[in-house]
Amino acid sequence: MGKPMHKEEEVERFSRQIQSMFNAIAPRYDLLNRVLSCGVDQYWRKRAIRRLAWKPGGRYLDLACGTGDVALEYFERRDGCPGQVCALDFSEAMLRQAGVKFQNRRPPTLLPRFCAAAEALPFREKSFDGISVAFGARNFADREQALREMVRVLKPGGCAVILEFSLPREPLLREAYRAYFDRVLPRIGGWVSGHADAYTYLPESVGEFPERVEFAEMMRRAGFDRVRHRDMTFGIVTLYVGTQDA
Ligand SMILES: C[S@@+](CC[C@H](N)C(=O)[O-])C[C@H]1O[C@@H](n2cnc3c(N)ncnc32)[C@H](O)[C@@H]1O
């Protein structure tokens, strides 16, 4: 029998798996997002960014930025982005895609990018006025540690928005959604990306993610104040908001 693994080893191993999975699917990631969500994913990100308290000259962090779609939304706001936006992800391939996207933007836009883990953010405490995470929290190997890190780098008065998949509350809808998520989505995802495992992992990780109230409680335990959440699109996505009032 093998030696039992310590929590740190488990976290490390899971992190490496997730990192290589996202490196592998990065080139087709945007295409699949659009196809599998019928384009609604961009609307979710826009809504999340609109909920961030906006401060002229402020500093914002998009955590688990992937190919930079959320970071782009900061600049697409009708009232314009009043400050600096940084993006962080532990997948180099995802960060490369984000870099290309920002270079091709008109006008080309500077996006400082950081390759690091959400559980050990390379920033001083009280660095940011706002933080966004879209569809990243589900993948964090040590979710509580990542949330504590977010609280640490938020300035007093700062706000965080976390967008994550959830299951609809209405039983019939929940069944229909599960059928799509468990049977249809992994096939299309696997076929287009060439990485079937990644799109089998997606419904599994959504099923394993804490219920809304439980995740909100986890945010409070990590140090967030005024935590609230609201369903979007029949509850298939939930937007969590928390502040750092201290
Ligand atoms: C489903 S994608 C979401 C990307 C982007 N936010 C979006 O809305 O499309 C999840 C991203 O989280 C990143 N990620 C997962 N775990 C991470 C961790 N522990 N630290 C940093 N990035 C992580 C992955 O590399 C991936 O790019």
Locus of tokens 């298939």: 236
In a domain, 208, yes or no: yes
Please check whether residue 115 lies inside any domain of the structure.
yes
Residues of the chain with pLDDT under 70: 1-4, 78, 81-82
Does any domain span residue 1? no
Instruction: Tell me the DSSP string of 88-151.
Output: EES-HHHHHHHHHHHHHSSS-----EEE--TTS-SS-TT-EEEEEEES-GGG-TTHHHHHHHHH
Output the residue whose Cα is nearest ligand 1's atom 9.
66
Pocket of ligand 1 (CB under 6 A): 15, 18, 22, 45, 64-66, 69-70, 89-91, 94, 117-119, 134-136, 139-141
Query: 188 to each of 36, 64, 82, how far by Cα in Å?
Result: 8, 24, 39
User: Is 2 within the bounds of a domain?
Assistant: no
**Which pLDDT belongs to residue 31?**
86
Residue 69 counted as an annotated binding residue: no
pLDDT for 131 equals: 98
- CATH number of the domain that 240 lies in? 3.40.50.150
Q: How much is the pLDDT for 161?
A: 98
Count of structural domains, the chain:
1
Residue 105 lies in domain: 7-244
**197 annotated to a ligand binding site:** no
Decide if 68 is inside a domain: yes
Strand partners, 2: none
In tens, the pLDDT along 17-72 reads: 999 999 999 988 898 888 888 889 999 999 999 999 888 889 999 999 999 999 99
Give 88 Cα–ligand 1 centroid separation in angstroms: 9
The answer to whether residue 190 is domain-embedded is: yes
